[in-house]
Amino acid sequence: MNDWFTVEKIDSETFAISEYKHFEQTHCYLLLGNDKALLIDSGLGVSNIKNVVDGITSLPVIATSTHVHWDHIGGHHLFDKIAVFKDEKEWLSGKFPLTLNEVKKNLTKFPCDFPLEFNVENYKIYSVKPDVILNDGDTIDLGGRKISVIHTPGHSPGHCCFHERERGYLFSGDLIYRGCLDAFYPTTSPEQFYKSIQKIKSYPIKRILPAHYSIDIDVSITEEIEKAFSEINADGKLCHGSGIFDFGSFKIHL
């Protein structure tokens, strides 16, 4: 039994696999179809997420990511088939934008009761060759269940949300959650982040399933975030270095 991960059932064919013990509180999502399964994000990589996935389904699994940041691809190397958005395939294939030492510092910067088998000295950012290159508007067919790829850059160049029209689910990655939304790194774009929030509003959404913190968030948060970006833009501060803006239930770091 793996007590690092918490598994929560969203519905009978959708599961959140979470790492609540770490300050990032990452969420990965396992979607089951008739023919195959899709794992959206694979977490920190400090424990074996594949063992958890195998305990839920025997279907062949495609592992993908909302974006290629270290806390979303940690378990990718454990899976046989990998899909990635075209703009970040190089990051996944050996040109990750942070050094290993920088990632280790981020991973361990707050006290954490890591799994017994974890040793930060052995931690790696694995280089993985993708099998499938995703583009904006692509559909991933799992057999009786179709997931759409939506390019939503800003937090990273190839950030994607995954939308399931039938259920009204939006797997929002780091675009939408209740926490601090980050667009201050050199590889981020505050302007694109704002446009991506506007873009996502055109989709029918009944439930938002974020990559961090609480998975119980109201869909109205999209309107709140758009309004916040609009205010920042109106003040002429939608640019790197503007600072952290606090809107109560979320912040925006530019």
CATH number at residue 42: 3.60.15.10
Task: Say what the alpha-carbon torsion angle 31, 200, 149, 252 is, to the nearest 10 degrees.
Answer: -80
Count, residues in the chain: 254
Cα torsion 156, 201, 169, 167: sign: negative
**pLDDT, the chain, mean:** 96
Residue 228 lies in a domain: no
254 within some domain: no
User: Mean per-residue pLDDT for 121-126?
Assistant: 93
Q: How far apart are CA 68 and CA 74, in angstroms?
A: 10
Which amino acid would we find at residue 224? E
CA dihedral 10, 51, 110, 159 (to 10 degrees): -60
Which residue from 41, 43, 131 is spatially nearest to 83, judged by alpha carbons?
Answer: 131
Give domain status of residue 88, yes or no: yes
Please state the domain count of the chain.
1
Q: Quick check: is 152 in a domain? A: yes
Amino acid at 145: R
pTM of the entire predicted model:
0.97
| CA distances to 79, 180, 219, 240 from 231, in Å | 43, 17, 20, 16
Residue 70 has pLDDT above 90, yes or no: yes
Distance CA(13)–CA(40), nearest Å, equals 14
Q: Which runs of consecutive H residues, i.e. helices, occur in 39-168? A: 49-56, 89-92, 100-107
- 129 within domain boundaries: yes
Other C-beta atoms lying within 10 Å of the C-beta of residue 176:
26
pLDDT computed for residue 94 by the predictor? 84
Q: At what angle do helices 221-234 and 190-200 cross, to 10 degrees?
A: 140
Domain assignment present for residue 237? The answer is no
Residues in Cβ contact with 120 at an 8 Å cutoff, skipping those fewer than 6 apart = 104, 107, 108, 114
1 pLDDT higher than 90: no
Q: What is the pLDDT of residues 177-193, one digit of tens each?
A: 999 999 999 999 999 99
Q: Is residue 252 part of a domain?
A: no
Question: Could you tell me what percent of the chain has a pLDDT over 90?
Answer: 95
Stretch 160-184: mean pLDDT: 97
- CA dist 196 and 66 (Å) reads 13
**Does the residue 68 lie in any domain?**
yes
What is the extent of the structural domain holding 204?
A: 6-179+199-218
